[in-house]
Amino acid sequence: MIRIGMLTSGGDCQALNAAMRGVAKTLFNGKEQVEIYGFLDGYKGLIYGKFRMLTGFDFSGILTKGGTILGSSRMPFKLMRDPDENGLNKVEAMKQNYHKLQLDCLVILGGNGTHKTANLLKEEGLNVITLPKTIDNDLWGTDMTFGFQSAVNIATDAIDNIHTTAASHGRVFIVEVMGHKVGFLTLNAGMAGGADVILIPEIPYDINKVVEAIKERHDRGSRFTILAVAEGAISKEDAKLSKKEYKKKLESYTYPSVSYEIADQIAKKSGMEVRVTVPGHTQRGGTPCPYDRVFASRLGSEAGKLILKGEYGFMVGYKNREIVKVPLEEVAGKLKMVDPNSSIVKEAKMLGISFGD
């Protein structure tokens, strides 16, 4: 008998259900008897012992379903060692619930913070296998995360739809794409959607360079300009500030987000009409695209295979077009970022896209 626990933690995304289905179907098709316990709402379920037994019926019909059938929540890693409001030791509680159910392994689906806690549990002696989900594609140790391609499709669709109204009215349009620290999503959606300017956290922008790019288009006869701006885009001036100074600036911030500040600056410097569109959480929602369904299923299947072989302490990742296993300690606490000197950035610039630098 193999007993596994399963949970999804952090922000939801497309193909979480497809990945869990991949794990379950692989285990159910193995020769061993299997019991799967689904912990509800992420690490909270593991801490407070909230779970339900999952059967084959629970994994039927969920390949195309977005979100997560187990629910999710954010549980900051930096607070994991702190007792809860009732003095409960969260780490010890997770270990106790793991042993109470006599689990052989925990399958944890999540992003950066989730992997830090997963590695902590591994160091505490629990058997853990993780799967890389995040629309930001910023997990170290894998070339791709599931949810990313689906989010690119949605953000691209938003940019596509802006083109007609931007052209009709001769406006500058800013589409704000998710990504506080990393710009993979904005970069890919911006290129796919034909954005003229792409601003990402890894390449601090000069607002004068942005306005210059817009004016050059206008002088060439273009009626409109579209900017794809990451949530975490930062100006060169702000990038020079210390973390403390930047945090203090944000505390007195009068704009809803950086896109509105950029819009205000462009309007004042160019005299052009500027509009901001924020697709927001739609980028994390809806049905997973075919790529993510296949990709998540493959990752889930490989996780199931590792469990059947008794190999624990790994994230199932994707490197050089192959599914691989990556030691958790190599993943936890590391962020994969866009290299400003990468070929994709250079190629985007060759296409005439401005990064405001």
* Catalytically active residues, by annotation: 136
Cα distances from 163 to residues 35, 60, 225, 253, 352, in angstroms, run: 51, 39, 9, 30, 17
The tokens for 161 are: 């739809």
Q: Whole-angstrom Cα distance, residue 229 to residue 197?
A: 8
Q: Whole-angstrom Cα distance, residue 126 to residue 95?
A: 7
CB-based contact 33:89 (threshold 8 Å): no
CB-based contact 228:159 (threshold 8 Å): yes
Strand partners, 3: 35
CB atoms within 10 A of CB 154: 21
Cα distances from 295 to residues 132, 192, 291, 342, in angstroms, run: 11, 20, 6, 24
Residue type, 280: G
The tokens for 117 are: 């806690």
- DSSP E strands in the chain: the ranges are 2-8, 34-39, 51-54, 105-110, 128-132, 172-177, 197-199, 225-230, 274-277, 314-319, 322-327
Dihedrals phi, psi of 139, to nearest 5 degrees = -80, 130
What lies within 8 Å, CB to CB, of 6 at 6+ separation is 20, 23, 36, 37, 38, 39, 54, 70, 106, 107, 108, 109
